[in-house]
Amino acid sequence: MGNPSLRQQAYAHILAKIENGEFPKGSVTSEVQLSQMLDMSRTPVRAALQQLELEGYVRVAAKHGVLILDSSSQRVGDLLEMIASMALFAVSAARSSKQVELAELSREMADAYRTLIIAGPEDSRALVLFEYELLRRLIQLCNNSEMAKAYRTSASRLFWNRNGSRWRAPYTGQTSEQVEKLIRSVASDSESFREALFDYLHTLKLTWL
């Protein structure tokens, strides 16, 4: 595989700055400023911005600059629902032929969660990363590369790693119960999994910043 193109490099640099907060939501920059910052011509920067706009990270307005988009409640809700739908589809499709794999995954994630809670129950970042991995493993069950990519993109747009309010009071106990229930339900029947997943989804929507 060759070296990344200038457009790909510009895209990766700008996205990283959005995700780590160097470009805060609602802030404005420009194609010229980004070109100078990245020491690139405007052509690859413009192409990168077009891709970022298509993916919902920025809005490019002629003569007004580049707006770093905030995550509206509607946009957040849509992305969370898409993630939940992919997880539901993947687990439902796996029930007929991968029951043993589902049971093993449930046990593995339950053990990992218990270890995490014992080691540092106040570490919200570790818990958020655990949730990300749990959902990734569930979606991975269908062996669909496009769904896996859609999950990564959706989580990135949601700034998943920076949203952990559900692990703080007054939601901590509720979230912990829902995650445990979700893990157990992976090895249970379809209706139990659906119920656990959408209870969890409700709390995600309620607490997302």
Q: Residue 71: which pLDDT band, with cuts at 50, 70 and 90?
A: low
| Best CATH choice for the domain 6-68 from the list 3.20.20.70, 1.10.10.10, 3.40.50.10490, 1.10.730.10 | 1.10.10.10
* pLDDT higher at 192 or 119: 192
The pTM of the full predicted model, rounded to 2 decimals, is 0.73
Phi and psi based region of residue 202 (left: phi greater than 0; alpha: psi -120 to 50; beta: remaining): alpha
Average model confidence (pLDDT) for the chain?
91
Helix axes 124-140, 172-185, angle to 10 degrees: 20
CATH topology of domain 73-207: Four Helix Bundle (Hemerythrin (Met), subunit A) (1.20.120)
pLDDT surpasses 60 at 65: yes
Q: What's the mean pLDDT in 101-125? A: 90
What digits encode the pLDDT tens for the residues 122-132?
678 999 999 99
pLDDT surpasses 70 at 74: no
Q: Residue 105: which pLDDT band, with cuts at 50, 70 and 90?
A: very high
Candidates 171, 155, 180; CA nearest to 203 is 171
Helix (H, G, I), strand (E, B) or coil at 59: strand
Contact 170, 162 (CB under 8 A): no
Dihedral angle of Cα 114, 116, 121, 124, to the nearest 10 degrees: -130
